[in-house]
Amino acid sequence: MNADMSEKSVLRAELLGARRLLSTQDVTETAAVLARHALRLSELADAATVAAYVSVGREPGTRALLDALRSRGVRVLLPVLLDDNDLDWGVYRGADHLERAGRGLLEPDGERLGPDAVLTADAVLLPGLAVDARGMRLGRGGGSYDRVLARLAAAGADPALVVLLHTNEVVARVPVEPHDHPHPVHAVVTPDGVTRFTGRNGPAERA
């Protein structure tokens, strides 16, 4: 496990370093392309409720996608970080209803729906630093989304799991530890398009 943890740390540092080199214009232009690709996904097109997040810094941008989903009448849930790193949820009511929270995050104002609100989502947009050829995701290591994925699994919920990434963040292999979520994401969206995953050890398919 120590070797895996070290390998994850090295990969995270490399990917975060690459993100820091991106300009604001790079991030803005990429966000528009990501939104166009993501909106073609049947998993999002058919969803009544999508659990997402507000991108910050040099993360692959989600804001154009959030507004497009909301304009379609989709109920968009955004996370609210709790003191124990678990996630509560609130409804996205537009950019004017976001407030700055800890760690530089942007969270929805208004009613808190509780951690189980994510169980109502037809699709979950997961933040990540990388996805590999099996669909395994590398997060930042805080554990918040591990709890979300565990909550979904415990409830028998099976929403589509989608990750938005920069092109270089689709990698050959993500180190996996025993406590990691054992199932791959369903799709990854990059500026180059969409890749769907057919199974943990199965091939990826370009869409």
**Known binding-site residue numbers for substrate:** 54, 59
In this structure, is the dihedral angle defined by the CA atoms of residues 146, 189, 112 and 57, taken in order, positive or negative?
Answer: positive
Q: How far apart are CA 126 and CA 162, in angstroms?
A: 6
Q: Report the Cα 30 to chain-centroid distance in Å.
A: 15
Which residues are annotated binding-site positions for ATP? 8-12, 137-145
Of 184, 189, 188, 187, nearest in space to 199 by CA: 184
Could you tell me the strand order of the sheet in which 204-206 lies? Answer: 87-91, 75-81, 49-51, 123-126, 160-164, 187-190, 193-197, 204-206
